Amino acid sequence: MSALHWLTASEAQREFGAHRLSPVELLTALLARIERLDPKLHAFIRLDADTAMGAARAAEKELSAGRVRGPLHGIPIGIKDIIDVAGLPTSCHSKILVDKIATADAAVIAKLRQAGAIILGKLSTHEFAIGGPSFDLPFPPARNPWNPDHHPGGSSSGSGAGVCAGLFPLALGSDTGGSVRNPASCCGIVGLKPTYGLVSRRGVFPLSFTLDHVGPMTRTVADNALLLDAIAGHDPADPGSAASSARYFGRMLDRGVRDMRIGFVRHFHEVDKPAHPEVTAAIEDAVRVLQTEGAQVRSVTLPSLNEFAAVNRVILCSEAWSIHAPWLRSRPGDYGQLARQRLLPGAFMNAGDYVGAQRRRLQMIAAVEEALRDFDVLICASSMDPASRIEDAAETSRTYPRQARTPFNVTGHPAVAMMTGLSSNGLPLSVQFVGRYFEDATVLRVAAAYERGTEWHRMRPPIG
């Protein structure tokens, strides 16, 4: 058995079942690692260690009595601090809500508890999932375990940093323009933005009703499927929730990709936003791995990244303004500078802008749907550059929008980002796989085949 902090959820399950490990032992090891590393990484806003240990002791007693609550029984998980956990603050990393205590669990938290998971605490995010990395907020920004001088991606920054560093095996993030997949890309883990509507957003502070998703963040594809199984499902109290029968997301992980048709969206990183040469080389290598595994790969064209970004920006800013306008009018100084800067453009959007963006969005959905009639899955870039230095605001501002994640928030298709190499300065590089609506299991199948064909998922950051 490897060091306890590097156990995946799937491995911990097996150890629990064989009575070689207990939930208390695992949590004790993780808490010791958090105590040692989190002062450098700032993954946590609030660690709820005592409550977590009580839950671990209860899980251990249940195991001893032969009772298993669900597939995540005794497994610790970190929660992005825009998701309500009853009794804990949901601060959204902001002075605006710093003292707001959640009175009920979000739908996904209720599902996690039913599955037996142990809630470790609340994790750093960009302010209201949009403003960061920032140094003018009540809590410091999370840092990248591969090099703490660099940012870990956002806005689910603490989720990405904590999973990567072995502080917990599982985390929840949210994704409106790439905020699960950006930390996955920057930290070298697996981050899935599920099909729109597959996972309830009830009890999650909104940024954009049209674009928001909640998704799993893990170190392996198998754990990603396991966590998605626990949180997916129709919620009639969420107007955006879909009545889908999609389930058992790990059922095809071992099937491989032989004879699968994969569309390569080259123009995203070659023409629309030319990528760093090391990113380009890593994506090309990912394509070769899949071809070696038997996949058929051909180029495909979608609308340009600039078009996708413009549609995303109008919808996001308009909807975010509808949420934040009262506070921006009455308490503008209580926002960090970056969040205020990114939210205020919504005040200048008009109904024509919003309706036009929504109409163009439907055309973009049709374009991706047309491509997926010819292909089982698409492959494309995620980030166009390795993570910048966290205190280099100009470079972060330049590189942050250089990505290909936003298109699939606009269209709602499932998309997973994962590691596909290390840059010359030791930072993760990434690739993205995209699938048909509610065929998240197929996306994970391709990701699992790529994972088996490489060794990147075995790499560990040098933080210790």
Q: Does some domain include residue 73?
A: yes
Q: What is the rounded distance in angstroms from the CA atom of residue 45 to the CA atom of residue 38?
A: 10
Q: How many domains does the chain have?
A: 1
In this prediction, residue 231 carries a pLDDT of 98
Q: Does some domain include residue 340?
A: yes
Active site annotation includes 155: yes
Q: Quick one: tokens of 426?
A: 């030791």
Pick from 264, 355, 274: nearest CA to 302? 264
In this prediction, residue 53 carries a pLDDT of 98
Q: Which of 22, 80, 94, 208 is catalytic?
A: 80
Query: Tokens 């605001």 belong to which residue?
Result: 393
Q: Does some domain include residue 77?
A: yes
Distances in Å between the alpha carbon of 173 and those of 6, 156, 272, 372? 20, 5, 27, 26
CATH number at residue 150: 3.90.1300.10
In this prediction, residue 464 carries a pLDDT of 78
The model carries a pTM of: 0.98
In this prediction, residue 112 carries a pLDDT of 98
Q: pLDDT tens string for the chain (464 positions)? A: 569 999 999 999 999 999 999 999 999 999 999 999 999 999 999 999 999 999 999 999 999 999 999 999 999 999 999 999 999 999 999 999 999 999 999 999 999 999 999 999 999 999 999 999 999 999 999 999 999 999 999 999 999 999 999 999 999 999 999 999 999 999 999 999 999 999 999 999 999 999 999 999 999 999 999 999 999 999 999 999 999 988 999 999 999 999 999 999 999 999 999 999 999 999 999 999 999 999 999 999 999 999 999 999 999 999 999 999 999 999 999 999 999 999 999 999 999 999 999 999 999 999 999 999 999 999 999 999 999 999 999 999 999 999 999 999 999 999 999 999 999 999 999 999 999 999 999 999 999 999 999 999 999 999 97
In this prediction, residue 121 carries a pLDDT of 98
Q: Which of 179, 185, 241, 318 is catalytic?
A: 179
Q: Does some domain include residue 341?
A: yes
Taking the CA atoms of residue 244, residue 185, residue 287 and residue 196 in that order, the dihedral angle to the nearest 10 degrees is 20
Q: Does some domain include residue 464?
A: no
Backbone angles phi, psi at 160, to 5 degrees: -65, -45
Active site annotation includes 179: yes
Active site annotation includes 208: no
Q: Does some domain include residue 196?
A: yes
Q: Which of 22, 94, 155, 382 is catalytic?
A: 155
In this prediction, residue 1 carries a pLDDT of 58
DSSP class per residue in 138-194: SSPPP--TT-TTB---SSSHHHHHHHHHTS-SEEEEEESSSTTHHHHHHHTSEEEEP
Q: In what order do the strands lie in the sheet with 118-123?
A: 44-47, 118-123, 76-80, 170-175, 213-218, 190-193, 415-422, 428-435, 377-380, 261-264, 296-299
Positive or negative, the CA dihedral 159, 143, 431, 360 is positive
CB within 8 Å of 277: residues ≥ 6 apart: none
Q: Does some domain include residue 279?
A: yes
User: Which residues constitute the domain of residue 390?
Assistant: 4-458
- The pLDDT tens digits of the residues spanning 195-211 come to 999 999 999 999 999 99
Q: Does some domain include residue 223?
A: yes
